[in-house]
Each structure stands twice: as C-alpha cells, then as structure tokens.
Structure 1
Amino acid sequence: MGKAIDRASKEVLAEMVRHTQKQGLKGAAGGWKDFLKKFGSGLSDPTRRSRELLVDFLQTFTKEQQKVFNKMIRRNNDHNAMKQFIKDFVHLESPKQRLVRLTMEHPKYTKQFCFPFYDEGWVTTHLGEFFEAMKSETMLAIDCEMVLCEDGTEAVVKVCVVDQDLQVKLDQLVNPMKAVADYRTNITGIDLKDLEGVTCSLSDVQKSLKELLSHGTILVGHSLYHDLRAVKVDHLRVIDTLCIFKFADLPNFSPSLNALCKVVLGFPVRNDGEPHNCLNDAQAAMKLVLAKLKHGYEDPIVTTDVEMPRNDLAKLLLHNIPNELPAQELQLLFSGEYDVTIESATKQRGESYTTCVVFKSPVEADEAFDKINGNLTKDSGGRLQKSVFWKLGSGKTTLLYVRKMTNDPDASKKMLRDENAEPLQQQAVDDNGSKRLKVCSYPCDHVKEIEKLREDLRHREEEIFNLQKALPQVIKENICDRELPWDCSS
C-alpha cells in the first residue's frame, strides 16, 4: 500500500488529502491540519505543499484506511491510461470505441461521470489487461427505476440489462431495504405489491453487474450517469446516448429517451402518460446506439423537431430549493388565478431539492413564467429560466430557479425588451410571503443602455449572493476548489 502512495502523482495525493479533510479522517498524527502544526500551518492547501509531505501524511493512516487511497490511485491510473489510449490510437479506433470517445469528450462528461467511488457501498469495475480490454466490442445497455425514500435519498428498485441483440441479460426487482416515501408509480410502474417478497439487494445486483462488465465491456444508457449512481457502480467504458448525437446550436441539449427515439428511430418508447418500462428503455438505448453505428446521424438534430409530451409542457421546473422551504409554499410564486399542483421532490442533493409545478395547460405555464419577477437567463440546455430571491422563515435569503421544460425558439427575442414596449406587470414576493404587482416603466431614450445596466446589476447581485453563500465553507475547509477530471465529490 505504501508503495502505491509513493508512486502516485502529486495531483492524486492532493486529492486524497482533500478527501480526508472532507470526511474528517485522522491518521496516527491526527488530521491534515494537526499534522501540519510541526511544519507551520500557514499553508493548509495540499496542492501548495510538497509531494514528500503529502506522502508522509497519508502513510500515517492504517492499512484499512489506506484501502480508500488505493482505490483512488487505481482509478486514476485506469482513467489516465484510457485517455492516453484514445489520444494515441484515435486513427485506429473502432466505430464503437469512437462512441466511447464522443461520450468522454462531451462538455458534461467530467462533471456527470465523476462518482464518489471510494465511498462505502460503491464498486468499481476494472479493465484488467488494458490493451485487450480496449479491443472488446461487447456492448450492454442498462436502465434502472428509482423510488424516493423517507430519508430523502433515492433507491433503485429495478434493473434491466440487454445485449446488442436486445436479449435480456438481467431483469431484476430490487428491495430498497428502507422505508419508501414515494414509489412514483406513474413513472416507475412499480408499487408496494410488486416488491413484496423481493429479497434481491443492491449488493446482489452489483455482483451481477461486475461479472457482466468484465474484460472491457462497453455499457450503454440514456443519461447513463443516473443509472450508475443508482446502482453505485463506477465503470469507465461507457456510451451515453445523450452525448453521441449533435443538436443544432445547443450542444448541451438533453431530450428525453422517448423524444430522442421519435426523432432518430421514428417511433416512441411509450405513449404520453404511460409509466416507464425498464426493459423497453434499456432496449431503446441500445437501438439508438445501433442506429448511430449503422447510419451515422452526423448532421445536427434540429431541437424544435424534438417534441415534448404535452403534459410536460404544462409544467415549470423549480430547482435549488432549500430543504427548509416546504414545497407547498412555492405556490406563492404564482398568481392566485392559477390552480397549480406541486409534485413531490424529483431530485434531492444535499441541502436542496428539485420539483415541478403543474398547471392546467401549457398556456397557463407560459403566462405564469412571464409574470415571475426574476433575472431571465438560459440554462446550459438553452431553456429559459428565472432566478428568484426568496426570504426564508429563518431570516436567510436564498436564490432558487424557475425553468421552462423545453427550449423556446423565440427565447432570444424574449430576453430583449422592445423600446416601445408597454409597462410590464410582474409579480413579486414580499418578505412576509404576500404577493404584489410591480410595474416597470421605461423612458423613451437610452432604453438599451439602461436595460444593459440593469442586467449587469442583477448578475452582480447574483454573483455576490453565491460568493456569500460559499464563503463560510471555503474558510472552514481552506482548500482550493480545483477538481481533478477523474474524481470529484458528489
């Protein structure tokens, strides 16, 4: 174990030290800052300390604790070897390996596929004999269904895997082993009765997946990182169907599996309103990859051709919502003229969650969005969203986001107000939660210049707020925010 640490690069060593800080781990000499006392504690940033000092600190941990470090070193070596292979042999790559490369080169890959593989309960697959593994042409596609548990986490309840002939390799219900708050039956198609008597655990599924994914097998999926997080498996050779098709003017556009199948394959996976079928979804992801291999689809897909289900168009997505803010209070964002439904949290990450507000029609959703008082921007997928400041019951002010569910072809026009526009009525939320209308009027002269200054001010306010929010944690940890491409905390 000590030899592995001795051979590791300084970047890897610094990341391991940061990991000990985040987890509060201590070796024989205490934590990182305790260890530094005899060397002068002015520089606690591990990237600014010598490599030799980092090695000395990490070797103060027990052999059991160093198992985590070994996993980090081994994963880094595999990842670097794979990147080097792609760079050196790109002219000899197979069509399937090209799709692996396209996935890795996608702008969101580094962030989305960075998993806490060193955490308890996670497993990693290994390439073994590297050059032999990289020659493997075997492909498998996976899809999972998850439920929301009472502790706020998600748990996998079904896993399906198919091969490139669309034959079933794994079709398994999984016992979440903890209390379920929402089975999301309208999405998963699974309820309490389906899981009665199910004894298969996540650990059992992981063992099956490790066997299936040995020797360089390529794993396929749509938004594959969600499935890998669900089963807590870190696998390097992957093809994500969101990453291998180009979208006109919107490189980060993320259509649903159903919408992508309509455009590429000519037929949907399911009709609007139908629950997911885990097996069908795994097969659909594989069909998309096979179609890409056969027909190329090198021309960008026009995003306006990717239809959204009508019931999704009648929604607005709310994200970055503090856990202390009850979902039902979000109705205060919208005028009382709308009868809205707040869905249960769809994602929960740390101290915030995401949900959807459902209106009676897409027209109502658009109207309500226009009336919200907030800074209008676009997200990474080109969808309009507004940032809204909200005062919590605790007295703190937070920033949450209200986003449309689809791209708006006239978005650029809506982000610039016309010089001769009538005064715009916008809804705002008072500190006490009551609603009011705010009338904005504009002078006839210098409209564009004034509006630009207003936009700059709003952006500056948002930046200051985010800095104020992050500052206490930065001071506490006294570490740099730079993350390595092969590892990041999630």
Structure 2
Amino acid sequence: MAKRLAAADKEVLVEVVRFTQKNGLKGSDGGWKDFLSRNDKKFGDSVSDPRKRSRDVLLAFLQTFSKDFQKYFGKLVKRQKERSAVQQYMNDFPDKVSPEQKLVQLTAEHPEYRKNYCFPSYQEGWKVLRIGEVSSLVSSSAMLAIDCEMVLCDDGMEAVVRVCVVDNNLEVKLDILVNPSKAITDYRTHITGVSKKDLEGVTSSLVDVQKSLKRILSKGKILIGQSLYRDLCALKIDYSQVIDTAYIFKYANLPTTASASLNSLCKSVLGYSVREEGEPHNCLKDAEAAMNLVLAKLKHGFNDPIEVAASSVTESDALKLLAHRIPMHLPCQELCKVFSGNPSIDDKIDSRIRGEFYSTCISFNEIDEVEKAFEALDGQMTKDSGGRLQKYVLMKRDNGDVVSFYVRKMVYGCQPNQFEFPKKRPQPTEDAEPKKEQADGDQQKKKRKSKKHVN
C-alpha cells in the first residue's frame, strides 16, 4: 500500500490530502497546516491549497501517518485510479456506456458529491465494497434502490433500525429490522414508523446488513437512493457505484448546490406524493420512489430544469425561526436575549439533538415580527446545505463565554402578506350601529313573528 501511495500522481495525492483535511486527520507532524508550518521555512502554511504544493510535499505529509493510515490512503489511491479508468473508458467507448452508468457519472459530477461522498471508511466497523472490472461496470444496467430509517441513541449518534432494498422491477430484495445493540433515547416513531415494540426480539445487527448488501451488490450493481450518502454513512458502507436522486435533476427554483426532498421530487416528476403531511416515513415506499425517479429519468430525460413542488407551510411554522447547531451546554432559554420582540422558545427535544449540538424553534405572535427579528439579528449571513440564507451568530453569555449557532427562517420566498391566516371574528360592541342588511333581516323576522301571532 505504501508503494501504491508513493507511485500516485499528484492529482490523486491532492485528493488524499483534502480527505485528511475534511476528517481532521493528523500525522506525526500534526494536520496539513501544522505540517506546512513546521517544515516550510519560506511560506509556512500561508499556501495551504494542496493543488499549489509540489507532489513531493504532498507525499511527505502523507508519509507522516501511521502504517495503518498509509494502507488506507493506498486504498483511496486505488479507488481514484478506478474512477479515472471508468471516466477514460467512457470517453473512449461512449457507445458501450449504459444509460444507468451515465447517471452514476452525473451524480459524481454534482458540486456536493465530493464533500458528501468522502466517507471516513478508515474507522472501525466500515466496509468498502469493490465495484468490479471497468469494462463490465460501465455497461451494467442492474440497479437496486435503498432506504433506511434511523433512531437516536444515548451516545448522541444515529443508528439504523430498518433497511429496505428493491430492484428495478420494484421487487423487494431486502426488508429487515436492525437491533442497534445500544440504548435508544428516541425512536422517532412519528418519522420512522418504528416503535420500541417493533424491535422486540430483533437480533439482526448492522454487520448482518452489511453482509447482505455486499452479497446483493456484487458485480458492480448500481445503488440508488435519495441523499444516499446519509444511508451509507449510517450503514458504514463505502461504495461508489451510486445514483443519488437528489443530484440527477436540475432545479429551476433552487440554488445549484441545493437539492429537493424526496416528496417534492415525486410531486414534480412522478405526479404523486410519497406521504401526506404528518404521515411517518415508509422505508419500503421511499426505496420504491427513488427507483421510480431513476426509471422516469431514464425514460423521459428531464434534461431541462424542473420546478420542484413547494413545501407546504403551516401557520405555526411561518411564525418561527429555527436555531440550530446550538452547543448542548447552552440552555435554550438564554437564546431569548439575542432576538428582538417577545419570542417564546421551545425546549430542546431528543429528536433535535445531534451529538454535541441541538436545535430549537423561536416562536413569535405575528409574521412581521419574524421578519424584523431575523433582520435585526446580529450575525454573518451564510447559506445552509439547502442553499437557504441563515445567520451565523456569536452570543456572549453572562459568565463571559462566547458561543455560536445558526439561525434561519422556516419559510423563504414569501413575503409576510402572502400568508393569509384565518382572522378572528371581531367582537361586537354594545353601541355599534347595525348594518343595513342586518337591520332589514331583523325587520323581516319581526314581520314573520307578527303574522304567526295573528294567525
């Protein structure tokens, strides 16, 4: 593996160094910037872009890692070579490339692919699945679609509890409940559809699922999913023959780096919803929906940008701001002091906890209060993973500590007056003059009563 690393091209070494940066990996001289500071007397870490460094410098940094890490880096080099070989074959023999494989390539070309599909498969418990020979790979049309449901465990991590896989005929290839083998703090039944009772007596483990997937994904079958990298992370599987349904369509009303939800895509592309509002996920239906999206893409093209269906907005959501990536040690009620108006703040709940952070909602009485509070909020404007505007906020606590978190609106693309909320019926006043229609009606009632009385 060390020889493979030493023989790698500079472009490949650049990708490996970037991988160490993303995952915060450190060798004997620290991380990438630490290494530059210690070993480059002229520039230090002022030139930290790996592309602007020589091949020798890149290799020297990677060789500061342990032998185990260098073995893993060797695997990354091999994978990069496989991808390059696939691309070269597709360029040389375009008529031999299957339409399905072109969607694999389209997924890999998405601007978010490199970031989201760079898995920490060097960690314990991960499995790297091979993709097979290039010549047979690019002509392959066999596809499987997958979806997983995850619960929150007491260590702050998510764990898989159900996995469903269907083929391109929508035949079920795998539908299995999984025992996380650790304490569960939130089953998220309202989302997952899985309850504590469902997992009673379940003995299948994540390792069992990994073995099953390795078997059914043999010979380079293509794996499909909506935001598939999330499922692969939960399954601890590193696999590159993928089609991400969130990446293969162009959107007319979303930023380039944004992606639509599965439900929105199904409404726009297939003409139906996967689930109704408030209905829990159905793992099997979601896998089928992902497969149907790919089949529709293959059949109809959808090369022009599509308008994704707007998410329905409830009155309560429109009256909220979302604060997220809040440190767990910060009591949520302390957030009130950074917002104008007189908001109320939901207590943090388990389903919103992610490791060392949590999220919560700040509620207001009027929609214009939401707009004013967000505009007045002191913070740096950024974008979230969906391309929505948010603010990066620094807050100084009473004890002098400074904490940071993000805040965004729950609704975008609408002005306050576009929300027509039901208005309360005004209370009548004692001295109010009756309207003409009401007065006429009262006179008619009196006439009818008088006629009845006469008869």
Place the TM-score, normalised by the shorter chain, in its bin. 0.7 to 0.9
**CA–CA distance in 2 between the matches of 1:102 and 1:296?**
13
Deviation for aligned residue 1:331: 4.9
Deviation for aligned residue 1:283: 0.8
**What corresponds to 2:150 in structure 1?**
146
Please give the residue correspondences for 1:456-467 in structure 2 after superposition, counting only pairs within 5 Å. Answer: none
Asked if the contact 1:325–1:392 (Cα under 8 Å) also holds between the matched residues in 2, the reply is no
Residue from 370, 373, 385 that aligns with 2:390: 385
Q: Deviations over 1:139-170 (max 9, x none)?
A: 11111111112211111111111111111111
**What corresponds to 1:222 in structure 2?**
226
Asked if the contact 2:394–2:404 (Cα under 8 Å) also holds between the matched residues in 1, the reply is yes
Residue from 162, 167, 175 that aligns with 2:166: 162
Residue from 282, 290, 296 that aligns with 1:291: 296
**CA–CA distance in 1 between the matches of 2:147 and 2:344?**
35
**CA–CA distance in 2 between the matches of 1:184 and 1:79?**
38
SS at match of 1:289: helix
Structure with bigger RCO (C-alpha 8 Å, 6+ apart): 1
**CA–CA distance in 2 between the matches of 1:299 and 1:219?**
24
Q: Deviations over 1:52-72 (max 9, x none)?
A: 677678678776554323322
**CA–CA distance in 2 between the matches of 1:32 and 1:214?**
37
In 2 relative to 1, CA 37–274 (structure 1 residues): closer, same or farther, beyond 3 Å?
A: closer
Query: How many residue pairs align between the two structures?
Result: 406
Deviation for aligned residue 1:383: 3.0
Is 1:116 the counterpart of 2:143? The answer is no
**CA–CA distance in 2 between the matches of 1:107 and 1:43?**
30
Deviation for aligned residue 1:228: 1.1
Deviation for aligned residue 1:111: 1.3
**What corresponds to 1:128 in structure 2?**
132
Q: So what's the TM-score if we normalise by structure 1?
A: 0.70
**CA–CA distance in 2 between the matches of 1:77 and 1:356?**
44
Q: Which moved more, 1:251-260 or 1:118-127?
A: 251-260
Is 1:357 the counterpart of 2:361? The answer is yes
**What corresponds to 1:180 in structure 2?**
184
Q: Deviations over 1:304-352 (max 9, x none)?
A: x42335376565432332333234544555567555534536576775x
**CA–CA distance in 2 between the matches of 1:257 and 1:104?**
19
Please give the residue correspondences for 1:145-294 in structure 2 after superposition, counting only pairs within 5 Å. Answer: 145-250=149-254, 251-294=256-299
Larger Rg: 2
Q: Which moved more, 1:318-327 or 1:237-246?
A: 318-327
Deviation for aligned residue 1:400: 2.3
Deviation for aligned residue 1:386: 3.3
Asked if the contact 1:148–1:155 (Cα under 8 Å) also holds between the matched residues in 2, the reply is yes
Please give the residue correspondences for 1:48-63 in structure 2 after superposition, counting only pairs within 5 Å. Answer: none
SS at match of 2:274: coil
Please give the residue correspondences for 1:79-118 in structure 2 after superposition, counting only pairs within 5 Å. Answer: 79-89=83-93, 93-118=97-122
**CA–CA distance in 1 between the matches of 2:117 and 2:17?**
21
Deviation for aligned residue 1:98: 2.6
Deviation for aligned residue 1:217: 1.2
Q: Which amino acid aligns with 2:301?
A: G
In 2 relative to 1, CA 119–323 (structure 1 residues): closer, same or farther, beyond 3 Å?
A: same
**CA–CA distance in 2 between the matches of 1:308 and 1:120?**
41
Q: Deviations over 1:282-313 (max 9, x none)?
A: 1111111112222222332224x423353765
In 2 relative to 1, CA 341–116 (structure 1 residues): closer, same or farther, beyond 3 Å?
A: same
Asked if the contact 1:383–1:405 (Cα under 8 Å) also holds between the matched residues in 2, the reply is no
**CA–CA distance in 1 between the matches of 2:260 and 2:37?**
52
Q: Which amino acid aligns with 2:106?
A: L
Asked if the contact 1:346–1:355 (Cα under 8 Å) also holds between the matched residues in 2, the reply is no
Q: Which amino acid aligns with 2:293?
A: L
SS at match of 1:159: strand
Asked if the contact 1:335–1:368 (Cα under 8 Å) also holds between the matched residues in 2, the reply is no
SS at match of 2:220: coil
Asked if the contact 2:186–2:350 (Cα under 8 Å) also holds between the matched residues in 1, the reply is no
Is 1:6 the counterpart of 2:11? The answer is no
In 2 relative to 1, CA 196–384 (structure 1 residues): closer, same or farther, beyond 3 Å?
A: same
**CA–CA distance in 2 between the matches of 1:91 and 1:410?**
50
**CA–CA distance in 2 between the matches of 1:283 and 1:31?**
43
Deviation for aligned residue 1:229: 1.0
**CA–CA distance in 2 between the matches of 1:95 and 1:356?**
44
Deviation for aligned residue 1:85: 3.9
**CA–CA distance in 2 between the matches of 1:329 and 1:285?**
42
Residue from 400, 403, 418 that aligns with 2:405: 400
Is 1:73 the counterpart of 2:77? The answer is yes
In 2 relative to 1, CA 98–253 (structure 1 residues): closer, same or farther, beyond 3 Å?
A: same
Please give the residue correspondences for 1:336-355 in structure 2 after superposition, counting only pairs within 5 Å. Answer: 337-344=342-349, 353-355=357-359
Q: Which amino acid aligns with 1:292?
A: K
Asked if the contact 2:382–2:392 (Cα under 8 Å) also holds between the matched residues in 1, the reply is no
Q: Which moved more, 1:149-158 or 1:365-374?
A: 365-374
In 2 relative to 1, CA 366–111 (structure 1 residues): closer, same or farther, beyond 3 Å?
A: farther
Deviation for aligned residue 1:126: 1.2
Asked if the contact 1:134–1:216 (Cα under 8 Å) also holds between the matched residues in 2, the reply is no
In 2 relative to 1, CA 333–278 (structure 1 residues): closer, same or farther, beyond 3 Å?
A: farther
In 2 relative to 1, CA 402–365 (structure 1 residues): closer, same or farther, beyond 3 Å?
A: farther
Asked if the contact 1:345–1:355 (Cα under 8 Å) also holds between the matched residues in 2, the reply is no
- Aligned-residue sequence identity (percent) comes to 52
SS at match of 1:126: coil
Residue from 370, 373, 383 that aligns with 1:371: 373
SS at match of 2:179: coil
Deviation for aligned residue 1:95: 2.5
**CA–CA distance in 1 between the matches of 2:63 and 2:102?**
40
Q: Which runs of 5+ in 1 are unaligned?
A: 412-490
| TM-align CA RMSD | 3.9
**CA–CA distance in 1 between the matches of 2:32 and 2:414?**
52
Q: Which amino acid aligns with 2:208?
A: D
SS at match of 1:215: helix
**CA–CA distance in 1 between the matches of 2:35 and 2:66?**
15
